[in-house]
Amino acid sequence: MTESRHSARANQRRVAAATLIGTTVEWYDFFIYATMAGLVFSQLFFEPAGESAGLLLSFASVGISFLFRPLGAFLAGHYGDKLGRRVILMTTLIMMGGATTLIGLLPTYQSAGVIAPVLLVLLRIIQGISAGGEWGGAALMAVEHAPAERRGLAGSMPQLGVPLGLLLATAVTALMTGVISPGDQFLEWGWRVPFIASVVLIAIGYFVRIAVDESPVFQEIAEKKEQASVPIVELFRKYWHLVALAALIFVGNNAVGYMSTGGFIPAYATSDAVGLSRTDVLVAMTFAATVWLISTLAAGIISDYIGRKLTYQIGYAWLILTIWPLFLLIDSGSLVKLYVGLGLICIGTGLTYGPQASLYSELFPASIRFSGVSISYAIGAILGGAFAPMIAQALLDATGGTPAIAVYLIGMCAVALIAVSLVRDRSRIDLSINNQAEQEIGSTVFDKRPAPTRPRQMSGSRR
């Protein structure tokens, strides 16, 4: 028994490492694009549109990938529920890395004309499809391998890949702008290096992930031949209300996250209106990613003690209270105040992101879980962060100030707070196929039937 327990824990550590490293690599790729869109893509690919319109088009190219996340989520959900979690994780990793590397090799508008932005957008679409399938697989691998009492901590591992990816992306970009290719060199060739370097990270992620076992929950499903014939149809026929609520729970975090740690704020803070230097702002974003990383891990651990729902509610209340001060601090033009504002807001983004993998996994039954978590995540990303930087830029152009942007983000967080308050906390519920029928009971406050039981046994591993 002791040997078996030791082996299970060793496997859980391998899974945690694989999901953490893999999602870090994927989100590094994703955030490199968002960072460059705010800094140089308007000049490199959309210059004929002019400065303001070029920046809007650059942010729109960030957002368009979100529109294709549902396609990635539908494909990954369907095949992930039928073929397994592991094969999808390998596929999405290769897709994302290949697209990112090719972006670093693209010609600019000046050398290739209109074909350059067209190719850029096509590769961004591939990134969106990959991102739509990546998160669900990583979340389920982490959560389904974990014991019930540590599911929040385990589920925070793929979540940590996002701030780590951002941390890596901004650090590499700051290194390029401040040391290796400062000034005009960055615009000429330095911006390409972070994209091309992705090929090395992809190789690392591939070899780490290929050594991990399939999820024990899917192994059980496959052995009993309990795969849903058309998982997506069953998902929307029986659980459409859960998909809607889960998506809305994500909108506040996603909108604030893409505004505060990528895209709009780096561009705004380095504009004439604020006047901070590009490298200083990128270093500040690195600090923000570090705070987000710590608060995300803490939120996963906290949710194992107080539940996913309460952790979320605290996080969204925090965001609602700190969004307005964030923009006041940025508008001051003080680098120190920028650090304070980003630090405050990233505590809230961590609290509303750390418990997400475990919350989502506990909402859906095993046979359609991949479809449920992936599609909910993708829809929430579209409604929340897809065009948040572009909306913010349009509000800034229309009003000449940031108060309207703050009101917009506060509204998104209020919607998410209401949504999470409408779901029942299902921490430690049995995730195995044996609990399939039970998971159909009482998932929202509108259902008056008894809530499911919460067994404390090791739900993520078979004995």
DSSP for 125-155, please give it. HHHHHHHHHHHHHHHHHHHHHS-GGGHHHHH
pLDDT category of residue 7 using cuts at 50, 70 and 90 = low
Give the range among 143-157, 234-248, 258-272, 289-303 with minimum mean pLDDT.
258-272
- Separation of alpha carbons 458 and 442, rounded Å: 23
Is residue 461 domain-resident?
no
- Looking at residue 445, its pLDDT comes to 56
Is residue 447 domain-resident?
no
- Smallest Cα–Cα separation from 414: which of 246, 257, 252, 254? 252
- Looking at residue 344, its pLDDT comes to 95
| Highest mean pLDDT, choosing among 68-82, 147-161, 291-305 | 291-305
- Looking at residue 455, its pLDDT comes to 43
Higher pLDDT, 112 or 213: 112
Number of domains composing the chain: 1
Contact, 127 vs 33, CB < 8 A?
A: yes
> What average pLDDT score do residues 447-459 get?
44
Output the six-digit token pair for 435: 């609990």
Inform me whether the pLDDT recorded for 116 exceeds 70: yes
Output the six-digit token pair for 410: 């506060």
Is residue 159 domain-resident?
yes
Is residue 188 domain-resident?
yes
- Looking at residue 228, its pLDDT comes to 58
Inform me whether the pLDDT recorded for 404 exceeds 60: yes
> What average pLDDT score do residues 320-346 get?
94
In our burial notation (b when 16+ CB lie closer than 10 A, e otherwise), range 181-219 reads beeeebeeebbbbbbebbeebbeebbebbeebebbbbbe
Q: What CATH number should be reported for the domain holding residue 195?
A: 1.20.1250.20
Inform me whether the pLDDT recorded for 119 exceeds 80: yes
Range of the domain at 32: 2-440
Inform me whether the pLDDT recorded for 417 exceeds 50: yes
- Looking at residue 437, its pLDDT comes to 41
Inform me whether the pLDDT recorded for 321 exceeds 70: yes
Is residue 459 domain-resident?
no
| Mean of pLDDT over the chain | 83
Is residue 453 domain-resident?
no
Is residue 460 domain-resident?
no
In our burial notation (b when 16+ CB lie closer than 10 A, e otherwise), range 14-47 reads bbbebbbbbbbbbbbbbbbbbbbbbbbbbbbbbe
- CA distances (Å), origin 161, targets 164, 293, 294: 5, 8, 12
pLDDT category of residue 311 using cuts at 50, 70 and 90 = very high
Output the six-digit token pair for 315: 């996080």
> What average pLDDT score do residues 70-81 get?
82
Inform me whether the pLDDT recorded for 243 exceeds 90: yes
Output the six-digit token pair for 157: 């591992």
End-to-end CA distance of the chain: 10
pTM listed for this prediction? 0.80
Is residue 449 domain-resident?
no
